[in-house]
Each structure stands twice: as structure tokens, then as C-alpha cells.
Structure 1
């Protein structure tokens, strides 16, 4: 336990000042638990700001405008349901420190080498987490092999370099679940306050670079429901329990850009530095160790995971999150690399990642009809659904979320008789 104690001392020494708690709670800056703004003009005319925000989404998506409201209602429902259902592994739920030197070195080198080749991020139709219809976001992927130094090796190095810090903070052993790349927000960007979808539980935000006229605060809500504004500069790292801590940036970015990376982990249920396997007997056979039994999230989680949580065997090593090479090639449009992978092992075509996505789904999001056609002709299932239990979107439904009716990918999927099945539909 000595190194845990020393780590906490180091956190105290190196922790960076967090701005004083703001004098407001939920539903003041942005709808979080409901759409009735509670604070009048304390923060300006936030009601009209929000109405403009939502109307911008509806106008942008036209015939799919209803998806804006569906996604928005889901965001609010999650913000109510999830925080009260999660096990809290830390007292405050968040902390700002300086990023470990090794992590920052990897990120800075990748950013500086590849920022000139960043790609515009694609969002599903009706997504209201970022106002991408007004201010596009861009991504420097860490897994894109077409970028210098990019690929799964870099992704693993970043995960490994960040994991020990978050493990020491939470006191739990963790396994990687999600990390896409360095996202660059642009002027006017707004990030709706939200909690992350499970199994994104123990996470961090690292600010890699920025060019702003004034700080763009991260608004988080403490355990008492009070807003706290956290400012970040390059090299700052915010540790946060992303599945339970409401967080966002509801005030528009004033400046040219703000570049962050989000690194996510899932607790394994094993306490850090455990010397026996006693914890395995104490774990639930169905629920993951971060959900409170009998809480409001259980019904939703069970509907998405009818087989339950996979309880680890005693002394089982922590596995890295599944990240098939074919997914990366399809997601980045690397046709040549994808052909090599399929030629070597066709089983990669229908391998699923942690979210139930296959290479075909990634290719559809990227929007390359030739790659989609290649995958289908080589054995990819044209109606394979996302989600761990195959209850998510079908390929055609996914294509309609990311593209319009006349997009070549949509036209091709319709031509081969693919079905339009939405998430949750039978």
C-alpha cells in the first residue's frame, strides 16, 4: 500500500488548481435533468440559446429532424438514470493534474506530425452532443495506419501510459474500452453536458493543444449536483468517473481550436494491489462491479446485455480491449491494407469489437462504397447489427444515419436488399 500512499501525496503536490464552485446547479446552463431552466438570467438567456441549438440540428437534418429530439431525450434520461446507479470509486469524481510525461510525449508527437492531415469527424444523424452542424470537429486518429506513427501499437502505448494514473486514483484495476484519437473542436463549439455510455466508466481528458481567446471551461457536476468549472491548458489531465459524472462544455468556444483526447477504461472488479482472488467471489455473477444492484440503470443495462457481465476467472490476466485490424483499415479508408487482411484471414470480416461493431459498420461510417462492396462480396453480413447482442443498427440503418438517401453506400445497400433496422427493433 506504500506506493498508493506515495501516489496520493504526489497528486496533492502536483494537482492543479480547479476554479471555485459555480453558484448554480443542473438545468441552468443547459438542460440536464429537464428542459425547464431554473436560474432565470443568471447565466444569460440560456433558454433561447438552447432553442437555437436544437433548431440548428433540426434544420440541418431536415426529414430526419426527429432524430435530434430522440437523441436529446435519451441524453437527458441517461443524465438522470446513470449517476444514481453507479458505484463511486472516488470521493469527488474528478481531479485535475498534469498528464504523465510519457503520455504527453506520445500525444504531442502524434499531433504535431499529423495535424495537417486531420479528418472531419462524422456524426450520426440527429446527434446533439456537439453542434457539428455549425462548427465541425476534426480527428487525428491514433489508430489510423495511414498517419505517420498511427496504428494499434501507438494506441496501446497511450492506453498503457495513462492506465496506471487512473488505476491509482480509483483504486481499481482497469481494462481499456475506448480511445479514438485527438479531437479538435473549432470556434463556437458546444459540448452538451452528459454522462458517457457504459462501459466507459473510469476516464481522462488530456488537452493536447489549443488556440483560444479565453479559457473554454469544462463544466462538471460534483456529488451534490453543483456546477464546477475546470479550465485546462496543454498538458493538463482531468481524471473523471465518466459514467457517473455529468460533464460538458455548454458555453461556445471562443478561439480557433481546442484539441483533446479522451481515454476510457472499465473497472475489472479487482482492487488495485490485491494479493488474493477473494474479490472474485464477491463479484456479482450477472452485473458488472460498477453498477449498484436494484438501481434505475439495471433494467436498461440488462436489455443491452441479456447475457450479463463476464465475470473474470481467478488470477485471469487483464485483456486489452478487442481492436481488430480490419476495423481500423475500414474506418480510415485504407483499402489496400484491408484487402491484405481479408486475404490473410476472412474471419476478420465478421469479428466484433467491444461495441459489437464490425469492419462493415466502420466502412459505412467512413462512406467508401468500394470498400463496403468489397466487404460484402467477401462474406461480410449485409444485415449484421451493432451492439454486443446484435440489437443495434443494421448496416443500412447506420448508413442512413451518417449519409443521405442518394449516397453511393446507401444506394448500394438498397440494391443488394439490405434491411433498414433501427436500434432496438426486432
Structure 2
């Protein structure tokens, strides 16, 4: 499963200031304004494209004790408006947080991060949080419940952008029950796409190495589900270097070399979809042996170039610094809310348009930051390196939102 990577607690009662994080903790802690500046979103927000009229649906296990209270504190500290609507729904039941259960605490942290950072990039979009009483771990566990939640969201027309900050190693689903779970999700994803729903998923946080259901790493490169599904837009992770005003400097592949890095690689079950076959060079088809490559896009995910999340339920309430590709999925969800508002309708399936833009040499460097430095290799297990254009580590790269979002809203022909 992909879940936010917590690094450090900000001990002061005030919200963290990036310059202080750098001097006192030797890490960045980007504010919402810094992230929006780095990726070129502020001009659109200032022009009134704030996600208004859109709803982001977030799916997590367990949830957080009081995500709205924590969001309100985050908003007050960073000068953000509260969302026009925030709903927490538990159609399958709830589980009370046990502070001694690290799995539940981890999901509560993930939930607050998803909510706060989807909102940070689309401050006037509504949010619906759906929680499951079953933990999604590895293999089939937790997936049927998540599918029921997503089906509930679709049946009740709760929103048109689904953020999925979770996943399981693809190989853990190579069983009859696992294959059925993938097939059930893909049928649902196809149905949701036909109803103009955008599906986003994090690519994973352990590089090219992923565990089996017993926690033992596979000795060969693997990818995660549902990021590998061709219906889903998979989000990889970078290390973002910007100044303390948020001015973009450079980015590399996020790889700490100690088991934490962006997921990415090639599926062993999904054949290369048409949007990749059509827009990627034939040399990549040969490298992939004809299978789906992920991620499609990327976003800042390094815990050392972190984002702060307010956690009021912790024994020491306050701000904690997070990274991970599971931070990128909700932030992309926020940007798609902005794009939907600009388009005047839900964009739905993104990959055709993303790959059309990426393959156009006149548009690509205006729409994306091309990440060309780094890899997601882990130890003796191979991995993949960033290259010019699309690669199975950071996809097309990270957004230059001021140019990319209008292109998504009105795709090139």
C-alpha cells in the first residue's frame, strides 16, 4: 500500500515556516502557496479558477477522528478558505481510532494529508471523504470494501474526481481472488470513466521493490495496483527544489536509497494501452515488452522536500512533515478540479490528453517539468532511470499548471 511518509514533528505551536524547517531540521516544508507557486498554479487561482463547483472524492481506510477540525486549523494557519462543502461518509461502518494501533494511526495521518492537500490546490472545491472499516494492506484485503465505496460514490453522484492514495503489489493479485478483484475494479473504472470520472492513484513509495502479502520483497522489479490499471492516471514522486518563496529551481527522481523511492516500472498483466502505443517511441515498447508503464505523471513526494499536515488527534497535536506519492495523488486531484471548472465540464479520462500533450514537442516543455535526473533502483533489484520525455519513473514529469491546465480544459486536436 502507498501511504504518506511521515518524517518529523514540528514542535512549535505555530505552523512551520519553510526557512525555519531548512535551518533547524535540514528539510523543506513547503506551504500551500509555495507548492502552488512552484508548479505555476497561483495565476489560475488568482483568476478565479479555484475548483469551484467541483467535488473531489477521497477514499481511505478508517479515516481520521475529526478531519474537518484539522482542516479548519490548516486553513486558518495558511490563510485558506474552508471548502464550500465537506462530507465524511461511512456506508460500510466505522472503527474508532486506537492510538496504540500503528496501522490505524497511519491511515488517520494519510486521511488528513489527502484532505488538506487536495484542498490546498483547489480551495473552493467540495470534498467527500469515504472511509472503510477494513485496512487495505497487501493482496486482496481491503480492496472489495474500497470498490464498494467507489461504487457508492458513483451511484450517488458524489463527485467526478477520485483520489486513491493506496495500492498493493501487482503480484499479490496473481491469484484467482486477486485476478477477480482487478477485473471487478477495471469494469468499475471503465464504467466510471464513461460517466466522466477522473481516476488518480499513487504509484507507490518503495521504488522498484514491493512486498508480497507476508512483507517479503520480491527479488525483481514490480509495480502496484490500481496505479497500473490503464483506466487510472498514476502519479509518481519527485524531489522538488524551490526557494523559500516557492520559485521553482529543479527536480530529481525521489529516491532515498533506503527502501523509500517513487514507484514505477512496467505491469506484468496489463498490455500497453493505446494511449502509450500511439504516443510513446517504439523503443519504449520494446523495453516494456509490450506492457503498461507507470507512472503517467509526477509530483513532489520526497519527505525531505515535504509538505506539512495538521494532525490534531496525535498525542502531540500539531504539524507533521510528509511526503510520498500518496501526497501527489490528492494534489493532482485538486488541479483537475481547477481544470474541470475551467472546462465547464468534468474531464473524465485524462491519459489520452496527457500523452497527446507530452508527445507534442511544441507543447511538452511548456506544459511539464521534464525530470531527467535520478532512478528508482533499490539495492540489487533493478529499476528504471529518468530520461528526456516520458519514463517509467516520473512519467511525463510534473505540471507547469498555468499552461497545462488550460490545455487539459481545451485539449489539442
TM-score by length of 2: 0.27
Larger Rg: 1
